């Protein structure tokens, strides 16, 4: 891609972030929508590079593909499907057609059924156990923790791992009469989920079961009556599904009205993504900062660092959203990508990470672009001083990464303690190279509406990055081979089949573990 080459050339010998920094830059390299403020001034993108990055969006036809997505066109070409998670949060008057048929009456009807079911479940049950994995787990699990201050419904437990410890621990001490087990699986075939669901049925007789799935035949075969099944269409991808039936546990936890606020937050971000010019468009700006760091500068990872303890599951949620979407090796036409695919995404809430892995971010030899997130206000009355410390730490980290500390400054700090060569040696360990990039997302307070804004912001960011790279962000063929091989190994481990066809290492491991 020529524009990317031009960007790489500009990045060579670009001024430092501190040299670029001034008030005008902060104004130019930040944008705000509905209280959400994104600052990407602490990157090395200058005006010229920003113009090229924006050009990339036009060259790659991002606007046309975005409009095609919202219009229900089948942009998930390898599976022949539309991509319409946005329909799950569209307003009451929306009309969204797939193959000439408006899908919104069905969406609204399911949402109404969910609301009635959730309202009743909030009275009848003390515990909800959501059994699902990947997109059928991470969204609601992340959301229930994030919105703990609004959680006034039954306790919610999330079981995902096929490790029997997960389901055994979750079922411990539950009263079947007061427990709702939700089997969440789009396909209703996923080994982990179906194994855990069968165990729950055996071990908790008398519990009420509900299902969230696209496959109504399989839910019936499992024995779940139709009035406790909430279906969705194939145009909702697993990792984009927490807005609909897969969000049922979240709706039960916080109540239907607050779930509506969550949907409204997502809807507001959709409107912004569709209407705002790219230069002020938050999903586009997040994507451009991502492309700059990953494809232009060659940084293979990015850290997501929420200064919000209740966003502890957000990095895991974003790992699936970003890495399952944009971790591809070929472009839409099947040709090998000419650029790297999406980055490794990882992170932990601050300030905990500061006492664990930030050492490497500050002084390691590789540059790790950091995405900080922080709220202006917390939820804990009387603990405002905690929140001030939280904000101070968040801002201190991005400042330290940018500013760094020179050898001369380190020597001054050491004062009289050392001299000569020993002073130089000791100072070298205390040098911070600085000029390390970060972005900061500031939100007013982690309400259901704001969580909706943030999740939709990241969804669209992934879409923009994927589109620029020519990737289909909505399939996940890369998970299939491991599943097939696990299916072939299970009977070998059970002693029912021979390991002869396997390689020497796998045979030796089977022998040790069988």
Between 134 and 315, name the residue whose CB sits nearer to ligand F6P. Answer: 134
State the Cα–Cα distance between residues 325 and 396, nearest whole angstrom.
32
Contact 191, 171 (CB under 8 A): no
For residue 299, the minimal CB distance to ligand F6P (Å) is 26
Catalytic site residue from 12, 172, 355, 496: 355
Among positions 209-238, residues that touch ligand F6P (CB under 6 A) are 238
Q: Which pair of tokens denotes residue 248?
A: 């049922």
Task: Tell me which of 7, 42, 134, 322 binds ligand F6P, using CB under 6 A.
Answer: 134
Between 190 and 447, name the residue whose CB sits nearer to ligand F6P. Answer: 190
Asked if 438 interacts with ligand F6P (CB under 6 A), we say no
| Torsion angle in degrees (nearest 10) through CA of 14, 18, 23, 24 | 0
Asked if 187 interacts with ligand F6P (CB under 6 A), we say yes
State the Cα–Cα distance between residues 113 and 94, nearest whole angstrom.
19
Q: Is 355 labeled as catalytic in the residue annotation?
A: yes
For residue 451, the minimal CB distance to ligand F6P (Å) is 19
Contact 391, 351 (CB under 8 A): no
Asked if 185 interacts with ligand F6P (CB under 6 A), we say yes
Contact 257, 267 (CB under 8 A): no
Asked if 466 interacts with ligand F6P (CB under 6 A), we say no
State the Cα–Cα distance between residues 83 and 76, nearest whole angstrom.
7
Asked if 247 interacts with ligand F6P (CB under 6 A), we say no
| Torsion angle in degrees (nearest 10) through CA of 327, 280, 275, 102 | 20
107 prior amide bond cis, ω within 30 = no
Q: Where are the alpha helices (DSSP H) in 125-240?
A: 138-146, 164-171, 191-203, 216-222
Q: Is 217 left (phi over 0), alpha (psi -120 to 50) or beta?
A: alpha
φ, ψ of residue 157 in degrees (nearest 5): -115, 145
What per-residue string of b and e applies to 304-322 under the rule 16 or more CB within 10 Å gives b? Answer: bbbbbebbbbbbbbbbbbb
Contact region with ligand F6P (CB under 6 A), list: 94-102, 181-189, 385-393, 464-472: 181-189
Size of the site for ligand F6P (CB under 6 A): 14
Asked if 485 interacts with ligand F6P (CB under 6 A), we say no
Q: Is 272 labeled as catalytic in the residue annotation?
A: no
Catalytic site residue from 324, 348, 371, 459: 324
For residue 234, the minimal CB distance to ligand F6P (Å) is 11
Catalytic site residue from 77, 483, 490, 497: 483
> What are the C-alpha distances in Å from 163 to residues 168, 191, 192, 196?
9, 12, 8, 9
Task: Tell me which of 186, 293, 328, 460 binds ligand F6P, using CB under 6 A.
Answer: 186
Between 447 and 476, name the residue whose CB sits nearer to ligand F6P. Answer: 476
Asked if 130 interacts with ligand F6P (CB under 6 A), we say no
For residue 449, the minimal CB distance to ligand F6P (Å) is 25
Helix, coil or strand: residue 447: coil
Asked if 193 interacts with ligand F6P (CB under 6 A), we say yes
How many Cβ atoms from other residues are within 10 Å of residue 21's Cβ?
Answer: 16
Between 86 and 193, name the residue whose CB sits nearer to ligand F6P. Answer: 193
Asked if 239 interacts with ligand F6P (CB under 6 A), we say yes
Between 219 and 440, name the residue whose CB sits nearer to ligand F6P. Answer: 219
State the Cα–Cα distance between residues 261 and 342, nearest whole angstrom.
31
Q: Is 151 labeled as catalytic in the residue annotation?
A: no
Contact region with ligand F6P (CB under 6 A), list: 64-72, 108-116, 179-187, 257-265: 179-187
Contact region with ligand F6P (CB under 6 A), list: 6-14, 154-162, 185-193, 486-494: 185-193
Q: Which of 473, 481, 439 is nearest to 323 (CA)?
A: 473
Q: Is 382 left (phi over 0), alpha (psi -120 to 50) or beta?
A: left
Asked if 133 interacts with ligand F6P (CB under 6 A), we say yes
Between 261 and 324, name the residue whose CB sits nearer to ligand F6P. Answer: 324
Between 190 and 440, name the residue whose CB sits nearer to ligand F6P. Answer: 190
Question: Rule CB under 6 A: which residues touch ligand F6P?
Answer: 133-136, 185-187, 190, 193, 238-239, 324, 476, 479
> Annotated active-site positions, please?
324, 355, 483
């Amino acid at each position: 891609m020529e524009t990317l080459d031009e960007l790489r050339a500009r990045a060579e010998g670009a001024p430092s972030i501190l040299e670029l920094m001034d008030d005008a830059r902060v104004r130019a390299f930040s944008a705000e929508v509905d209280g959400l403020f994104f600052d990407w001034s602490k990157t090395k993108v200058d005006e010229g590079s920003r113009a090229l990055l924006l050009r990339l969006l036009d060259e790659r036809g991002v606007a046309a593909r975005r409009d095609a997505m919202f219009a229900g066109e089948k942009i998930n070409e390898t599976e022949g499907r539309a991509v319409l998670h946005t329909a799950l949060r569209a307003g009451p008057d929306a009309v969204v057609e797939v193959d000439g048929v408006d899908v919104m009456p069905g969406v609204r009807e399911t949402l109404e059924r969910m609301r009635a079911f959730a309202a009743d479940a909030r009275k009848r049950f003390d515990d909800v156990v959501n059994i699902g994995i990947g997109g059928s787990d991470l969204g609601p699990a992340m959301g229930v923790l994030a919105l703990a201050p609004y959680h006034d419904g039954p306790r919610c437990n999330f079981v995902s791992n096929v490790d029997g410890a997960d389901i055994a621990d979750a079922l411990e001490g539950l009263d079947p009469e007061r427990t709702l087990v939700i089997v969440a699986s789009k396909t209703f075939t996923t080994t982990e989920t179906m194994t855990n669901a069968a165990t729950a049925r055996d071990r908790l007789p008398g519990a009420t079961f509900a299902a969230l799935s696209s496959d109504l035949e399989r839910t019936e075969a499992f024995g779940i009556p139709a009035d406790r099944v909430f279906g969705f269409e194939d145009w909702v991808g697993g990792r984009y599904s927490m807005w609909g039936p897969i969000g049922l546990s979240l709706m039960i936890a916080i109540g239907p009205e607050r779930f509506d606020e969550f949907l409204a937050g997502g809807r507001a971000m959709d409107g912004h993504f569709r209407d705002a010019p790219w230069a002020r468009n938050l999903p586009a700006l997040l994507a451009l900062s991502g492309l700059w760091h990953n494809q232009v500068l060659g940084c293979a990872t990015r850290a997501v660092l929420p200064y919000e303890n209740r966003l502890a599951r957000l990095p895991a949620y974003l790992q699936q959203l970003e890495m399952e979407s944009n971790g591809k090796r070929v472009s839409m036409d099947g040709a090998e990508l000419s650029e790297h695919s999406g980055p490794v995404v990882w992170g932990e809430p601050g300030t905990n990470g500061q006492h664990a892995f930030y050492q490497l971010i500050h002084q390691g030899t590789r540059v790790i672009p950091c995405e900080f997130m922080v709220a202006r206000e917390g939820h804990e009355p009387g603990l405002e001083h905690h929140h001030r410390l939280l904000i101070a730490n968040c801002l201190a980290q991005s400042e330290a990464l940018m500013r760094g500390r020179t050898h001369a400054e380190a020597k001054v700090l050491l004062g009289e303690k050392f001299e000569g060569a020993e002073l130089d040696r000791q100072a070298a360990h205390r040098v911070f190279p600085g000029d390390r990039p970060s972005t900061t997302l500031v939100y007013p307070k982690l309400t259901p509406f704001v969580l909706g804004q943030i999740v939709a912001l990241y969804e669209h960011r992934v879409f923009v990055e994927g589109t620029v790279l020519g990737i289909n962000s909505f399939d996940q063929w890369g998970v299939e081979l491991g599943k097939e091989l696990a299916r072939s190994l299970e009977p070998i481990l059970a002693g029912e089949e021979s390991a002869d066809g396997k390689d020497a290492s796998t045979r030796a491991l089977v022998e040790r573990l069988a």
